[in-house]
C-alpha cells in the first residue's frame, strides 16, 4: 500500500521523515510511505508557492498507485489551493483516503462537499515529534493501512460525523467549500486562541444558516489558550452549551480530538 505524503500548508521539518518511516517499516510493513519533495520546499511561510503545493497534492491524489494522501502538517495555506486543485481531481482521486487535521480541514471539507474520496480527521506525520508521538501517528497509519477501528474517536456513535478546527470551520462558513452537514455530529477543537476569540468563533458557528440541521456538537481539546485579562470566568462547557442553544442543537459533550498526543481518528461521514 503506497501512501503519498504532501504539505498543503506550511513548510515541514525534514526531521520527521526518518522516525515516521521507521515506525511504518516496523509496525506497518505493508505500508510504503512516499514523501513528495514539495514537503520541504519553502516560499516564505509556505511549503512552496500556492501553485507548487496544489500541483503536488493533485499529482498524488490523481496517482492510481497511491491508496491514500497523508498530510505532513498543518499551519496555514490549504485554503489558498482549493480553487486550483479541486477541479483537477480525476477518478483515481475519488477512491482515496485523505487524512490530516488543523489547517488541512479546508481540503477535507472541500473533498467531502464534492463527494471525492474518504476525508479523515487524524494525526499527521509531524505529530511523531510529540511526546508519545509514535502512538499518535500509529492511529493514522493503522486506519489508512488496516482500517484499525481502535484508532477511532471512542464517542463515534454510528451517526455521520465531521471534525474540524473551529477557526477553519468559521472560515469555511459562507463559502462553497463547506459541506452540507445536516444530520451530522460536528466535532470542533482549537489551539492557541484566547477564550474571547473562541467565544467569537462560536458566535459565528451558532448563527450560520449553513449549519442549521446539525444533529449535535461536541468539543475536543482546546489547548495553548492565550491569557485573558481579566480572567474569562466561564468554562468551555458552559460556552458550548450557550451557543448550541442559540444554534438549536444539543451539546453532546467532549471528544478525543485536537492538537494533542491523544488526537484520534474521525472519518467524515460514517466510520
Separation in Å, CA 228 to CA 127, 233, 241: 28, 10, 21
Strands, sheet with 216-223, edge to edge from the N-terminal-most edge strand: 161-165, 185-191, 216-223, 251-254
Is the bond preceding residue 81 a cis peptide, omega within 30 degrees? no
Pairing of strands 266-267, 118-121: antiparallel
Please determine, for residue 157, whether its predicted confidence score (pLDDT) is greater than 90: no
Give residue-wise pLDDT tens across range 226-245: 999 999 999 999 999 999 99
Burial class (CB in 10 A: 0-12, 13-18, 19+), 94: middle
pTM more than 0.85: yes
pLDDT tens sequence across 89-105 = 999 999 999 999 999 99
Cell of 87: 477541479
pLDDT per residue over 120-145, tens digit each? 999 999 999 999 999 999 999 999 99
The rounded distance, in Å, linking the Cα atoms of 98 and 17 is 19
Structural domains of the chain, ranges and CATH numbers in brackets: 2-151 (3.40.50.10740), 161-267 (3.50.30.60)
| Predicted confidence (pLDDT) at residue 156 exceeds the cutoff of 90 | yes
Q: Read off the pLDDT of residues 7-52 as tens digits, 9 standing for 90 and up.
A: 999 999 999 999 999 999 999 999 999 999 999 999 999 999 999 9
With beta carbons less than 8 A apart as the criterion, state whether 147 and 120 touch.
Answer: no
Amino acid at each position: 500500500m503506497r501512501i503519498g505524503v504532501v504539505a498543503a500548508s506550511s513548510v515541514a521539518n525534514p526531521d520527521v521523515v526518518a522516525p515516521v518511516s521507521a515506525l511504518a517499516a516496523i509496525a506497518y510493513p505493508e505500508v510504503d510511505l512516499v514523501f513528495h519533495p514539495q514537503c520541504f520546499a519553502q516560499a516564505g511561510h509556505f511549503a512552496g508557492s500556492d501553485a507548487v503545493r496544489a500541483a503536488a497534492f493533485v499529482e498524488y491524489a490523481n496517482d492510481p498507485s497511491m491508496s491514500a494522501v497523508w498530510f505532513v502538517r498543518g499551519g496555514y495555506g490549504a485554503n489558498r489551493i482549493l480553487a486550483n486543485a479541486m477541479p483537477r481531481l480525476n477518478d483515481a482521486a475519488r477512491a482515496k483516503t485523505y487524512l490530516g487535521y488543523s489547517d488541512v480541514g479546508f481540503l477535507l471539507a472541500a473533498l467531502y462537499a464534492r463527494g471525492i474520496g474518504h476525508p479523515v480527521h487524524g494525526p499527521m506525520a509531524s505529530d511523531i515529534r510529540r511526546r508519545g508521538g509514535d502512538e499518535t501517528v500509529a492511529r493514522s497509519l493503522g486506519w489508512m493501512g488496516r482500517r484499525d477501528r481502535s484508532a477511532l474517536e471512542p464517542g463515534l456513535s454510528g451517526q455521520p460525523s465531521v471534525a474540524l478546527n473551529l477557526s477553519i470551520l468559521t472560515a469555511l462558513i459562507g463559502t462553497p467549500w463547506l459541506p452540507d452537514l445536516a444530520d451530522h455530529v460536528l466535532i470542533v477543537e482549537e489551539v492557541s486562541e484566547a477564550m474571547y476569540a473562541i467565544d467569537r468563533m462560536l458566535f459565528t458557528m451558532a448563527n450560520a444558516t449553513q449549519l442549521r440541521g446539525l444533529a449535535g456538537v461536541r468539543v475536543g481539546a482546546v489547548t495553548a489558550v492565550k491569557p485573558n485579562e481579566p480572567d474569562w470566568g466561564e468554562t468551555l462547557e458552559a460556552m458550548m452549551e450557550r451557543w448550541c442553544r442559540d444554534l438549536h442543537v444539543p451539546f453532546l459533550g467532549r471528544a478525543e480530538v485536537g492538537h494533542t498526543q491523544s488526537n484520534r481518528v474521525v472519518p467524515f461521514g460514517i466510520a
